[in-house]
Structure 1
């Protein structure tokens, strides 16, 4: 429950902070990356696990599905801390792709879990419901909240903040009740609110940025409490092998196949491939598999824990170095301009004027 709730706010702020006006030139590529590449990566990892570790195909696909999503917050925390803006619109490409691929990974994970637990479902109908109701709920709730916020004027910003806080929960709950993808609904709702004019948006940005960081810290803190250290050696070798294959083969191949037709430079393909860090979403999806008591030869939770730690420590640490070596750093662009929390319009303006002496 705590993990799912925390992920709701992380997904909401992922959409809320995405500046769609800046991301328009790369929006098509971002959507393709967050859907086709996630699916392709999951199946490549599944094939690797199937042949190397001798698991069943569904067990292998479950592992690939859980770790196919990426963590936008981790990527941009690193880039923001180094004030590193990337060329060719890569900032927006990574932001939209990383923020929107979690619903696809969740949908794929749940589908495999349903098949493995023998539940009587129609996969095409379930996928249709997940996508359609997820999109509709997020869009409608987002538009309704924007209309309310611009119609009812309040003096204190916290009143609007509470309403938006509630809207993220309603977007998730309503989509789930209707059989839709709750995380997709939350992301769409956040994107609509973040890219619409609403009063006191600056205060809301600060609130949700703090809330998201608390949610991430809480997830990792509880994760450490759930991990049993003496069980980790049982999964460390599979985790390292999967991590190497995912980082050096599956993800780069998927990215290259998609971005090459768009004539993307090799440097951009390299950085985009390396910047796909695993994060909190993979941990939450791994917990779902444990709750459903899916049959696996080893503890998937411990496996994902090791993969996430390896990804954040190795990929995350080397991301600035890789970006610099690929000559992808753009010193003339402020990375904050790709986010909605960049306040270009301020209440105070500073004007420099030269007064001649007579």
Structure 2
């Protein structure tokens, strides 16, 4: 019994260490760290030399949700509200209407390219429609790209707040597949309620955390770190229990708390940043274990086609359409925001939902989504800095 637990802990520690090294190695070549994390997960899986046979999509989904809670909360803490508040309205438009437009364009292309049914096509489009907060936060903050505040704020706010729309769309499509007579119009008020409740819970918890830390006067500094963990979990759990978006609550709570002063703020922020990186490592490693690299070769053609539609048609169309009323963003800014729509862990986590629900063809959708994330990371991630320089967005306006 002892040998078994010791071996398990040794393997977990070794995988975490190797995953960090793989992420650092990929970053040296200008590639997103998530590629190293995913790559090692694939090597450790059943198809790789590691030989770990992991096929529990429900467990992977749970791990992904938990990790995203801390990633979004940390991203909110590190968001400087004064520099991004002017981008709030356009970011919310992109996070809702933009996600819907992208999902629709991908759905139409999937119906035409792969003879998908409308619901299958829209399910694929909904899964990959949102940009990934983990990937965007990691690249923008690790590369220290000197973007203009209005552009950086727009990208960060959108990536942190568009997950609820994607989750809602995926859930709506799965509901329509299970019960075709469901009224689509009846789902709209539910989405509005989720957003409002999630934002309200996040604001309340974000205000309460600094007040608690100021009044509690914790004499042990480590307890403040425990409070920050509890706040992230409470935000997600409370919002979900009363019908709100837990992910939005976590991100809003982080932004609101980060805008206020409280004891040990720098230590809490640094701790949450480290916890967010650990969450990324665990999440991408777990998701990488789910994939069989040999199966990715079978979806290479469809995957490249979907990636091309997403990067060159769906994302630019949604950005230019949603930002048209906002004069602060010219064609250069819109083009860069279009290119900065990286896909990462969120689409992969969402791709496990149809598998858990037992939807026909769900495994193929999962493999296509994973392939799209890999290509997006390889193509878009390393070229963000180059694109910013070409568009003259890497210096103050």
| TM-score w.r.t. length of structure 2 | 0.79
Measured against aligned partners, the alpha-carbon deviations of 1:36-80 in whole angstroms (never above 9, x if no partner) come to 111111111111112221111111111111111112332343334
Counterpart position of 1:231: 295
Contact 2:355 2:362 survives alignment (8 Å): no
Counterpart position of 1:354: none
Aligned partners of 1:211 and 1:282: how far apart in 2? 21
Contact 1:88 1:268 survives alignment (8 Å): no
Counterpart position of 2:357: 292
Measured against aligned partners, the alpha-carbon deviations of 1:174-201 in whole angstroms (never above 9, x if no partner) come to 2222222111121222221111222111
Counterpart position of 2:206: 142
Counterpart position of 2:70: 9
Measured against aligned partners, the alpha-carbon deviations of 1:99-146 in whole angstroms (never above 9, x if no partner) come to 111122111111111221228685234324322322232222222223
Structure 1 residue 277 displacement after superposition: 0.2
Contact 1:47 1:60 survives alignment (8 Å): yes
User: 2:168 aligned with 1:107, yes or no?
Assistant: yes
Measured against aligned partners, the alpha-carbon deviations of 1:203-261 in whole angstroms (never above 9, x if no partner) come to 11111111111111111111221111222122221111111011011111111122233
Distance 1:259 1:124, change over 3 A: closer
Alignment of 1:80-119 (within 5 A): 80-87=141-148, 89-118=150-179
RMSD: 2.0
Match 2:272 to one of 184, 208, 214? 208
Contact 1:8 1:172 survives alignment (8 Å): yes
Structure 1 unaligned blocks of 5 or more? 334-358
Distance 1:83 1:175, change over 3 A: closer
Contact 1:235 1:298 survives alignment (8 Å): no
Counterpart position of 1:340: none
Counterpart position of 1:249: 313
Distance 1:124 1:267, change over 3 A: closer
Structure 1 residue 88 displacement after superposition: 6.2
Contact 1:63 1:300 survives alignment (8 Å): yes
Contact 2:316 2:338 survives alignment (8 Å): yes
Aligned partners of 1:45 and 1:82: how far apart in 2? 30
Match 1:301 to one of 356, 366, 378? 366
Counterpart position of 1:78: 139
Contact 2:76 2:253 survives alignment (8 Å): yes
User: Secondary structure of the equivalent of 1:213?
Assistant: helix
Counterpart position of 2:222: 158
Measured against aligned partners, the alpha-carbon deviations of 1:280-333 in whole angstroms (never above 9, x if no partner) come to 111111112211112227522211111111111111011111111112111x69
Please list every run of at least 4 consecutive aligned residues from structure 1 whose deviation after the TM superposition is greater than 4 angstroms.
Answer: 119-122
User: 2:91 aligned with 1:30, yes or no?
Assistant: yes
Counterpart position of 1:132: 196
Counterpart position of 1:337: none
Aligned partners of 1:313 and 1:250: how far apart in 2? 19
Aligned partners of 1:230 and 1:55: how far apart in 2? 23
Match 2:377 to one of 301, 307, 312? 312
Contact 2:134 2:280 survives alignment (8 Å): no
Aligned partners of 1:67 and 1:76: how far apart in 2? 18
Tell me whether 181-190 or 117-126 shows the greater mean CA deviation.
Answer: 117-126
User: 2:258 aligned with 1:194, yes or no?
Assistant: yes
- Between the two proteins, the alignment pairs up a number of residues equal to 332
Tell me whether 166-175 or 116-125 shows the greater mean CA deviation.
Answer: 116-125
